[in-house]
Amino acid sequence: MNVEEMRKSHKRLTEFAYQTGTIDRGYNNRTLYINVSTNEIKEKPVSQEMKEKFIGGKGFGLKLMWDAVNDNTKWNDPENTIVVSGGPVCGTTQYPGAGKSLVVSISPATGIVIDSNVGGYFGPYLKFSGFDAMAIQGKAEKDIIIYINGDDGEIVIDEAPDEALDGHVLGEQLTEMYAKDEKDKKNISVITAGSAAKHTYMGLLNFTFYDLRRQVTRLKQAGRGGIGTVFRDKNIKGIVVRYAGTKGNSNKPANFDKVARTGIKLHREIERLDDNLMRIRQVGTANIIEVMSAHDLLPTHNFQYGTHENVVNIHSNVFRDNYLTQGLPDGCWFGCSLACAKAADKFKLKTGPYAGKLVTVDGPEYETAAGVGSNLGIFDPEAILEINFYCDTYAIDTISFGTTTAFVMECFERGIINKDITGGLELKFGNKEAALELLHQMSRGEGFGPIVGKGIRKLKQYFADNHGADYDFLHDIGMEAKGLEYSQYMSKESLAQQGGYTFANKGPQHDEAWLIFMDMVNNQIPTFDDKAEALHYFPMFRTWFGLMGFCKLPWNDIFPESNKYQDEPAKIPEHVQNYVDVYNGVTGFHIDKDELILQSERVYNFQKVFNLRLGGGSRESDIAPYRAVGPVTKEEYLSREDRYNKEMIEKIGMDPSNMTLEERIAATREYRMKQYYKLMDTVYARKGWSDQGVPTIEKLQELGMDFPDVIEVVKRYL
């Protein structure tokens, strides 16, 4: 069926006209509200206070969510909302990494708010079309497509029965349907989920951009926390935005020259240095596969080990030399000269419904290569690319898929589950066919796949309730906290990273704090106070990217020659100043680097209170499964015996030579958990929270976030 026939089968549900051309200094000062139950569409004003307190991006997302839901809202209630928002700098074309959208919703995995940062052109085009954010509430009766025509100021909702569900097909279909011709395709961006989103709790959203050189629709993912599952629960098939006419000043910055000069400076830095630093332009983020492995930090076999003899088979150069097309401007938005969005072209699929087809695979990013590669014991680059492809098109988060499947594989190998339970799948480490079949089952909604697709938290209970598994052991080895699966770093030997992961508001994702190298490798934050300061500063600094619509990579995956002479090189001070300059240049405000942190702190604390309001956010929810903290099993202890024995002598003050292995494991555990709780106390105090992790009224007053309904929530917990 061609797209014309598909379009003919659309049934118009509603139309809405609005005024375009409202953007000024990075804001339109209004947001878009769409209710897909009632087909109501309206504009909502953005107040000065909203801009000051919530800034934009994730801040706007949280604010709009807060107003949309109640204390008991569950992910699949109609009032749950999906908010997509760029932020004031989003849409800037001169500074690398300024095209991100932030997506916020109540997660099926965690029950609290999740946020995900994603590339593609949707966020910028939504803004140029006239809206600082888009909030979607309700549930449609039948599958719908929402189309925002930002050129003519028109929004429609159509029932759309015939389009595909899978992201790579639907992305192409809708791009073709709404573009006037081939050249116009770059003016379209689509949000899709995929066929597996409805059958799992780890459904993601694809955000597209059209790649003029490859002539394909590329997919970037808002991966974490199952927002794609919410999207499909609302029976939304796709959301399309079109905006033709992007120019260098489409974001209407207050000071174009300031923004442009700062951008050109960073473009030059990347041009000069990237090939000898992280090589992001060649391999994307995959360069850290070998770095992590060299430090015994690459998650392997469900985070048991940190390296493997076969890691060489998936080193980044293998991908670069054999799969990733080189030398293209692979930015996920215009002006990203760091260009991490690598792709393998004309990749031939071996399994599943698209077997034999030649496709473009986005990635693999490091997280994917580690998650569905080493962590599953799969050291085959083609299997990694194939799993990557199917995850994206089916709308499955590669991180949660990898971490959950790794957990299931360890359960299988330890005999906790067997083939009767898996429906015949031999889910041993390294079994790529079984991993792929699991994925295909998630798409089809049959077999063991959808059970695994509910994530580790549900599986632990399921295996204990139905198959007599020892829940405590599963809890030790199941790498989830708050219901979200850990992303792909080994925190075992870095106390600061344990906190960075597990205290994170949304669940253990590294975008809040990544301190392994500072802490473990470079030993720059030795004391508890140092660690707590880092666990204050970096989460706040990184939160700011999400308020803006910025990408994190151009912050510290490239740095100027002079960086090592700075007082605090880990902060990349010159780049922090760049961000201050770009923000001021766009908005005309005059913040400095301290005000930047304050902006984040407001939103961060608000998110924490939001978690409490939805029944999460407790001290208990900040406690890591033991595998994130230390060796659970004998094999793990023995794999790093020297390190752990040394710790016994030097830190714990015990002599391992007189102790059995079990005694050493127990003593290490007791010591490490004590350290962990002490870190928790120190970090809570630094953040201005009670010992239960609740923001104090004084703190909220100091931040100017003492809104009556916010205070009312914390009072329940103080």
Beta strands of 274-416 (E only): which ranges? 343-348, 358-362
Is residue 332 within the footprint of ligand SF4 (CB under 6 A)?
yes
11: three-class secondary structure by DSSP: strand
Instruction: Give min distance, CB of 274 to ligand SF4, in A.
Output: 11
Q: Which stretch binds other proteins (CB under 8 A): 43-51, 228-236, 259-267, 593-601?
A: 259-267
612 binds ligand SF4 (CB under 6 A): no
Which of 113, 15, 220 minimizes the C-alpha distance to 604? Answer: 113
549 near other proteins, rule: CB under 8 A: no
Do the Cβ atoms of 315 and 381 come closer than 8 Å? no
* Residue whose CB is less far from ligand SF4, 288 or 338: 338
Residue 122 Cβ, how far from other proteins at the closest point, in Å?
A: 16
- Contact with other proteins (CB under 8 A) among 8, 12, 247, 564: 247
List Cβ neighbours of 425 (8 Å cut-off, separation of 6 or more). 419, 434, 437, 438, 447, 448
Least Å from the CB of residue 331 to ligand SF4? 4
Q: Is 558 a binder of ligand SF4 (CB under 6 A)?
A: no
Characterize 42-67 residue by residue with b for buried, 16 or more Cβ atoms within 10 angstroms of its Cβ, and e for exposed: ebbebeeebbebbbbbbbbbbbbbbe
Backbone angles phi, psi at 517, to 5 degrees: -70, -45
415 binds other proteins (CB under 8 A): no
Angle at CA 503, nearest 5°, toward 499 and 508? Answer: 90
Binder to other proteins among 153, 329, 569, 573 (CB under 8 A)?
A: 329
Q: Does 340 bind ligand SF4 (CB under 6 A)?
A: yes
Helix or strand holding residue 220 (H, E): strand 216-222
Does 416 bind ligand SF4 (CB under 6 A)? Our answer is no
Q: Which of 75, 128, 323, 334 binds other proteins (CB under 8 A)?
A: 334
Query: Of 266 and 459, which has the nearer Cβ to other proteins?
Result: 266
Cβ contacts of residue 183 below 8 Å, gap of 6+?
Answer: none
Under rule CB under 6 A, which residues in 94-123 are in contact with ligand SF4? 96-97, 119
> What's the distance, CA 592 to chain centroid?
27
- Write down the residue that tokens 């400076």 correspond to: 265
User: What is the three-state SS of 513-530?
Assistant: CCCHHHHHHCCCCCCHHH
> Per CB under 6 A, does 188 bind ligand SF4?
no
Per CB under 8 A, the list member of 186, 279, 444, 619 interacting with other proteins is 186
Residue 249 contacts which entry, ligand SF4, other proteins, none (Cβ below 5-8 A, type-dependent): other proteins
Binding residues for ligand SF4, rule CB under 6 A, total 14
* Residues paired with 218 in a beta bridge: 209
Q: Give 646's contacts (C-beta < 8 A, 6+ positions apart).
A: none
Binding part of the chain for ligand SF4, among 63-71, 335-343, 393-401, 612-620 by CB under 6 A, reads: 335-343
| Residue 630 sits in the site that holds other proteins (CB under 8 A) | no
Binder among 45, 181, 327, 708 for other proteins (CB under 8 A): 327
Strand partners, 220: 207
Considering the complex, state which of residue 136 and residue 340 has its C-beta at the smaller distance from ligand SF4: 340
101 vs 548: CA distance, rounded Å:
9
CB of 474: closest distance to ligand SF4 in angstroms?
35
Q: Find the binder of other proteins among 127, 234, 267, 699 (CB under 8 A).
A: 267
Q: What is the DSSP string of 251-286?
A: T--S-HHHHHHHHHHHHHHHHHHGGGTT-HHHHGGG
For position 578 contacting other proteins by CB under 8 A, the verdict is no
Give the tokens for residue 142.
């039948």
Closer of 120 and 194 to other proteins (Cβ):
120
In sequence order, the β-bridge partners of residue 154 are 17, 149
Answer yes or no whether residue 246 interacts with other proteins by CB under 8 A: yes
What is the phi-psi region of residue 371: left when phi exceeds 0, alpha when psi lies from -120 to 50, beta otherwise?
A: alpha
138 or 371: CB nearest ligand SF4: 371
Nearer to ligand SF4, 585 or 625 (CB): 585
256 binds other proteins (CB under 8 A): yes
- Contact yes or no for 221/118 (Cβ under 8 A): yes
Report the Cα 407 to chain-centroid distance in Å. 20
Whether cis (ω within 30° of 0) applies to the bond prior to 364 is: yes
**263 contacts which partner out of other proteins, ligand SF4, none, CB within 5 to 8 A by kind?**
other proteins
- Closer to ligand SF4 at the Cβ: 119 or 130? 119
CB-wise, 125 or 676, nearer to ligand SF4?
Answer: 125
- 33 in helix, strand or coil? strand
Query: Is residue 551 close enough to count as binding ligand SF4 by CB under 6 A?
Result: yes
Residue numbers of the site for ligand SF4 (CB under 6 A)? 96-97, 119, 331-333, 336, 338-341, 551, 553-554
Binding site for other proteins (CB under 8 A): 93-94, 186, 212-214, 246-249, 256-257, 260-261, 263-264, 267-268, 270-271, 325, 327-329, 331, 334-335, 337
